[in-house]
Amino acid sequence: MSVLPLVFTSGWASGVNAYAVVLLLGIFGATGLSDEVPASLQRTDVLVVAGVLFLCEVVADKIPYVDTVWDSVHTVVRPVAGAVVAALLAGDDGSLPQVAAGAIGGSTALVSHLVKAGTRMAVNTSPEPFSNIAVSIAEDLGVAGIITFAIFHPVIAAVIAGTALLTGIVIVLFLVSRIRRFLRRRARRREEKRLAQAASP
């Protein structure tokens, strides 16, 4: 499948920011910069909804702990979006290659999302908000850059996305202990809040 590199790259990017992927691909298709983008992603209503949700994500993703809640909600959304975008890129004939593309896009988006969510939990253990904002901006720019690059150089973009995915997995494995401490602290705060509410008249 000649579209496979774009499928993989869009899957990785969807795991980080699915709305940006839909918005960028739609714009590239609507402006004629790419013939690979299906018409369904170029529709005005799709672009408007993706744009609004992208702006919501830009804000939520830069607020400590709010980003963790946002990531939790999107544990389903991002893999589904990655699968749908990948399937659409592969065609609309319901063929086996299209199903395979959807599976690749969805599974890649899921792993990418888990890496993002794990990294953010580790970053949120820092008391200052600036590292969170810096990581979020880097993610936004990374998604925009890789999708743009994938339109013109899909194979190289797929290699970069694969490298980023593997690097992210290694980083999360190193940060596991920090993430566990974060989860324990969060559970302790919830328990303290529950006890305080139970003790109040």
**More confident of the two residues 165 and 131:** 165
- Other CB atoms within 10 Å distance of the CB of residue 142: 18
Identify residue 124 by its one-letter amino acid code. Answer: N
Task: Tell me: pLDDT of 75 over 60.
Answer: yes
Could you give the angle at which helices 4-30 and 44-60 cross, rounded to 10 degrees?
110
User: Rounded to whole angstroms, how far apart are CA atoms 15 and 190?
Assistant: 28
- Other CB atoms within 10 Å distance of the CB of residue 7: 30
pTM, rounded to two decimals = 0.83
Q: What is the pLDDT of residues 16-53, one digit of tens each?
A: 999 999 999 999 999 988 888 889 999 999 999 999 99
Determine the pLDDT at residue 191.
Answer: 81
Closest CA to 170 of 104, 119, 117: 119
Task: Tell me: pLDDT of 122 over 90.
Answer: no
Put residue 43 in one of left, alpha, beta given phi > 0 → left and psi -120 to 50 → alpha: beta
Cite the beta strand spans of 102-194 per DSSP E.
none
